[in-house]
Structure 1
């Protein structure tokens, strides 16, 4: 039996919904804007996309997007399409073109959002997925249970390698588990990548030699493919345990090739996610989007955070984190670690834990750590103790009575 790819969409159209669905199916497989003699019934049966389901949800008097065919009413539907794997083979770049190519700009479409994706097993055979995931990350970071307590080096840019290393020195002395470059910090003249890695790893390695605890640092190696490979090799040679890449900047091919080369976990940043997702009538849901990046090899995936500084609501954040923890497909779990960030403090720990039911995550706080009145070490301790309280089911104020660093943090977190 032929393997098929299934994708679901929220569709809005000003024309007959069945016509719009057929146009999308044809555009994304064997058809074009006019009937051609070479698109025979046999060819369509073999290679054409199928409309598997089309359910009317509701209607609107106005279109969500401009530029479409005007209608008296705009029908909103749940649409499911499927394609035979033979159209493209198990290829992530060509999958992207098929499920999210020339659909969104069709005149028959006044709104379209990719909401779900189901892939055949051949993709799992072609793409091994994360090399480290949750288990390997915990092993390298030395954190057996609870979340990895992390932070981001700030300011985003402008610090020298020595200034960056000084911030890292304070963090590792305070017991931090995880540190990441900001996505804007690359290889600029103020802080060259090579100098930054050597300066930071001297601090990390010296601390590990003294204490036995080695913080995981995700160095942002985003760049051309040869640059990323060379930068990875430097991090590995200096004793580093993680690298970071910005997904929308390097693309699926860059991510897959980095995964093939890498001997370290890949921390995947989703910078630019808003332009794919912020309009509810256009773009992607996170669940299908992250599947492609996990198959390509991402070990950690950003999901924003509860009560964050951006526009994403809490239910969307939790749905994103659950999708990262869920299997890509039943026979290929490919577990990755969700990364919570953006305006985070210990105040979100209990709700995050309750919503996920586990602590297999990285919880990063910048100002929530660096802003502690008792200093960085107290900030790390306070965030960690907030998670102890969350996992043990103890109210934060009650737990703070026995932990001065947490008690002090409550004053400035709130």
Structure 2
């Protein structure tokens, strides 16, 4: 692995692409808009960012983003910049400032998107990475093969602790593997975190004592660092097996404050992802963004779902999910478990499995379980049937002939 930090970008500029990329490298390292005393050749050799590669990809007639600098046409290119590790050391918060700081605002660019990252091995030694990942999650959930069938507490907010626990009882009796708080449910006065955790874990522990299966519940402990640690410890003391955090709410430092302390899998929610990604020529690709959080200790990461209720395309969803299984380092792969959600039902598993190529995921459905015509237990069973059929290579409609829960689900959700 190189001793330099590398980042890949797509740029759009009315300027000469090479000059724009050089301005970008200067702004994000030792340079500024004008030469300053002390910026010697020796200092630039030691600390300047480099344009390692630039490949032009054509022109467009109109700018993707507004700006002060305009032109008759706008060139697009793929650019790789690199920085010496000595500039910041293996430091994730300051890596963010280096690869995704002021460069988005530079006047030379009418579009700029961070596509991927490659980091020196020093980062692997400095950060925890996922402590549980796929194998640890399967062990704690008691699911050896196939996806973890999961769901989200709905309504998202409005239930009190006992109402939440009643919903969990219904889902546990239905055979669910995984349940999570909605990201909107944290520690409000209507449903305080501690009361919710105690009520929910009482139900989960009673169900485990009766059946031998402990449902994995991801409690949303998003908050200030001390609060998150306290909430984590409560969940652990109560026998819980997972906690959840909203990444964009707590930031890298907050995430690290939790994961360096955590002894439970950390379920990473990406709410807010749209403002970082939805404009095609601005922000981040998921592969780059998720590497920050994988290295910081995320065990599960949301990737949306096929035929989802949001704006993301199916191709983007699958690319995101596959990127989580690409090793970051030889010594520390930092593999995270993809979480499919958003409008999922028994309809999507065949294509999800075919395109993903494996079933190492959490497959979470809300209405796809709770709105099944025959109730939640049939909803859970329909998802298992759909995945079993997909893994066996049997068309869902054929499999459904002997699996009534799946047949009813295909009729309802297919319509």
Q: Shorter-chain-normalised TM-score: which range? A: over 0.9
Q: Distance in 1 between matches of 2:331 and 2:254?
A: 25
* Secondary structure at the counterpart of residue 105 of structure 2: coil
Counterpart-to-counterpart distance in 1, 2:112 and 2:374: 50
Q: Quick check: 1:390 aligned with 2:390?
A: yes
Identify which range, 14-23 or 298-307, moves more after superposition: 14-23
Query: What does residue range 194-213 of structure 1 map to in structure 2 within 5 Å?
Result: 194-213=194-213
**Paired position in structure 2 for 1:10:** 10
Tell me how far 1:346 sits from its aligned partner: 1.4
Q: How far apart, CA to CA, are the structure 1 residues paired with 2:335 and 2:15?
A: 42
1:70 CA drift (Å): 1.1
Following superposition, the deviation at residue 319 of structure 1 comes to 0.3
1:339 maps to 339
Query: By how many angstroms is 1:2 displaced?
Result: 7.0
Task: Quote the Cα distance in structure 2 between the aligned partners of 1:53 and 1:6.
Answer: 11
Secondary structure at 2:162's aligned position in 1? helix
Q: Does 1:95 align with 2:95?
A: yes
* Stretch of structure 1 that moved more, 65-74 or 17-26: 65-74
Match of residue 379 from structure 2: 379
- The answer (yes or no) to whether the contact 1:2–1:85 under 8 Å persists in 2 is no
Give 1:161 deviation, angstroms: 0.8
Which residue does the alignment assign to 1:131? 131
Map 1:206-221 to 2 at 5 A. Answer: 206-221=206-221
The residue aligned with 1:143 is 143
- Range 76-85 or range 61-70, more displaced: 61-70
Shift of 1:350: 0.9
CA distance in 2 between partners of 1:329 and 1:351 (Å): 30
Q: Deviations over 1:96-129 (max 9, x none)?
A: 0000000010001110000111111111011120
CA RMSD of aligned residues (A): 1.0
Q: Secondary structure at the match of 2:129?
A: coil
Q: Give the C-alpha shift of residue 253 in structure 1.
A: 0.8
Distance, in Å, in 2 between the alignment partners of 1:257 and 1:327 is 24
Q: Give the TM-score normalised by the residue count of structure 1.
A: 0.99
Verify: 1:116 aligned to 2:152, yes or no. Answer: no
Kept after mapping to 1: 8 A contact 2:58/2:76:
yes
User: Per-residue displacement from partner, 1:303-345 (whole Å, max 9, x unpaired)?
Assistant: 0000100000000000000001111233321221000000001
TM-score by length of 2: 0.99
Distance 2:410 2:71 in 1: 55
SS at match of 1:293: helix
How far did 1:411 drift?
1.8
Cα separation, 2, equivalents of 1:410 and 1:346: 6
Q: What is the SS of the residue equivalent to 2:175? A: coil
1:187 partner SS: coil
Q: 1:304-315 residue pairs with structure 2 within 5 A?
A: 304-315=304-315
- The equivalent residue for 1:302 is 302
Tell me how far apart the structure 2 counterparts of residues 177 and 130 of structure 1 sit (CA, whole Å). Answer: 20
Q: Is the 8 A contact 1:68 1:109 kept in 2?
A: no
Counterpart CA distance in 2 for 1:390 and 1:246 is 32
Number of the residue aligned with 2:26: 26
After TM superposition, list the pairs within 5 Å mapping 1:152-301 onto structure 2: 152-301=152-301
| SS of residue matched to 1:107 | coil
2:149 is paired with a residue whose SS is strand
Contact (CA 8 Å) 2:128, 2:259: kept in 1 or not?
no
Once the two structures are superposed, residues 205-249 of structure 1 have per-residue CA deviations (whole angstroms, 9 ceiling, x without a partner) of 000000000000000000000100000011001110000000000
Moved over 6 A (4+): none
Q: In structure 2, what is the Cα distance between the partners aligned to 1:214 and 1:55?
A: 52
The answer on whether the counterparts of 1:306 and 1:344 sit within 8 Å (CA) in structure 2 is yes
d(CA) in 1 for partners of 2:169, 2:397 = 30
- Unaligned 5+ segments in structure 1 are none
